[in-house]
């Protein structure tokens, strides 16, 4: 068999993909991304958080065999771990890949699990960024559930992004959805909600660094409350890792 031609640089492919699918809806963008040779092989990365079930369901309807990477930082809420099992079983996800921090690194850097108090960036790098980069190594890109309405660095998201330094493409099928779109999708498809949503958690990460959100607050206000930090480090902004990576 002839060898497949190598993929063009991610920046070139992203520009063409965003042009080609600019007027498509979320489901169509996801379906095309999973089959378009210019995207390459994809995995989905999911936190199984407050709104994750919408995109997880969408993926399961199109192709349940898509690899789904779940980062168990070993500092998650027990409710998140239970919810992850419930959703994966209900949706029939057949290739769930659970990644945890390196044991030796934890022993050396964070043996008492208190690093999040003194250096949350380093903690995120240890428990999320590095395990994710290892998990994504075999893939040409990954699917995220980020949306423009979540604000901050996400306000100008496109469907497709080039990830600097890796050559991978990030696919954001829900980039243009608003909160109402997500909630309607969850209700219309009778999907289970994360149990902490009812307790005021609108963005859910690790237990020590996540708090409920009050009415009128930004959706991610409960993440690293009181610190100059609003991303864990697994996403790039303006060509650089958002904190965490340097740590």
Quote the CA–CA distance of 11 and 219 in Å, as a whole number.
30
Q: For residue 210, give both structure tokens.
A: 């996540």
Report d(CA 74, CA 127) in Å as an integer.
8
Q: Are 130 and 99 in contact (CB under 8 A)?
A: no
Q: How far apart are CA 76 and CA 65, in angstroms?
A: 25
User: Which tokens is 96 given?
Assistant: 């769930």
The CA-based angle 93-94-100, given to 5 degrees, is 85
From the candidates 123, 124, 209, 232, give the one annotated as an active-site residue: 232
Element housing 178 (H / E)? none
Quick check: helix, strand or coil at residue 143? strand
Using an 8 Å Cβ cutoff, are 142 and 43 in contact? yes
Check if 232 is active-site: yes
Which amino acids are annotated catalytic? 232
């Amino acid at each position: 068999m002839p060898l497949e031609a190598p993929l063009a640089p991610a920046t070139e492919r992203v520009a063409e993909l965003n042009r080609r699918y600019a007027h498509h809806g979320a489901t169509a963008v996801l379906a095309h991304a999973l089959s378009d040779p210019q995207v390459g092989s994809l995995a989905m990365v999911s936190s199984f958080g407050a709104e994750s079930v919408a995109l997880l369901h969408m993926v399961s309807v199109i192709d349940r065999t898509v690899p789904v990477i779940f980062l168990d930082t070993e500092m998650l809420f027990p409710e998140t771990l239970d919810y992850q099992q419930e959703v994966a079983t209900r949706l029939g996800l057949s290739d769930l890949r659970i990644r945890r921090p390196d044991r030796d690194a934890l022993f050396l850097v964070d043996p008492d699990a208190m690093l999040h108090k003194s250096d949350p960036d380093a903690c995120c790098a240890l428990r999320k960024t590095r395990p994710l980069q290892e998990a994504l190594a075999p893939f040409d890109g990954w699917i995220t559930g980020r949306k423009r309405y979540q604000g901050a660095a996400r306000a100008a998201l496109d469907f497709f992004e080039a990830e600097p330094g890796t050559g991978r493409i990030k696919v954001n099928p829900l980039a243009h959805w608003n909160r109402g779109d997500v909630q309607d999708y969850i209700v219309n498809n009778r999907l289970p909600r994360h149990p902490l949503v009812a307790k005021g958690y609108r963005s859910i990460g690790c237990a020590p660094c996540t708090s409920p959100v009050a009415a009128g607050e930004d959706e991610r206000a409960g993440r690293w409350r009181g610190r100059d930090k609003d991303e864990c480090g697994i996403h790039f902004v303006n060509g650089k890792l958002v904190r965490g990576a340097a740590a």
